[in-house]
Structure 1
Amino acid sequence: MINTLTSIAKPRTEDSFVISFAPLSVEEVYKLADDPANGAVVMMSGMVRNQTDGRSVVALEYQAYEPMALRVFYQIAEEIRQTWTDVTRVVIHHRIGHLQIGEISVLVAVGCPHRSEAFAACRYAIDTLKHNAPIWKKEHWQDGSSSWVSIGACEQNC
């Protein structure tokens, strides 16, 4: 796997990478990942939950360094195709701005002829995104306090 961004990956036209203030659409992302060659489309939807480590969360705010984050998304797709060569589509959409409990913050979808590769590639995409992308979230707590956290600083179950 490539662990640096020394060679800037270029997005493929069949893939889709977005950072947006607008709400994300499960249906749109699924359609973007679909292809006649697919036997599977695996999608992961990350949502704002109402607690973290036992503390009540009322909202999250996401910020990103968009040019670098998109390059990380492109690199993830390139790495996926090096490992799972049959992948037909990679879709990564991340929301920024103020999100309420239950709203979708990230959608990752991978289309592939076989389900096992689609599952593995989708998991790789979200895990690598969380570790490498310059995206930060501010947790707004019920007690009125808040704190910024790099999503890369989250534990695996964040």
Structure 2
Amino acid sequence: MGDHKEQGINIDPAFVRALAELLDDTQLSEIEVEDGDRKVRVARTLTAAAPVAFAPAAVPVAAPAAATAAPAASVAPAADRFVDAVKSPMVGTVYLAPEPGAANFASAGAAVKEGDTILIIEAMKVMNPITAPKSGTLQAVHVENSQPVEFDQPLFTIG
């Protein structure tokens, strides 16, 4: 039918195309399927967009000539926003709660201790707990429940 014989295994081009479409649909960078002694891996190279820093919008202010303008507040560039963030160690799907309908492991503003589970990442049907690397306050969670994540993507920040 559509099978091709290469290096001793049958390759179904339609199956490979379906896996490639799955990569696009889930925004993953690679997928590997194993069936007995057959193994198919489809991967794509992702190009990272350069971080964009946004300057605050200029607001025209009518002031008397004698008035002194206050110095503008310092705005951190977008690239610095995630400097202290804990980043994803793998590609997978984030879950903020241990099971559907349960309360989240932690929410922004909550006190956490080193080793506390903050979220889990499902990768290849394995649930991987992502824990707090230090004690402090969970300042922000940068992902949403059931969101696919890439390697090194910011997950949360503890201050």
Asked if TM exceeds 0.5, the reply is no
For normalisation by structure 2, the TM-score amounts to 0.20
For normalisation by structure 1, the TM-score amounts to 0.20
More helix per residue: 1 or 2? 1
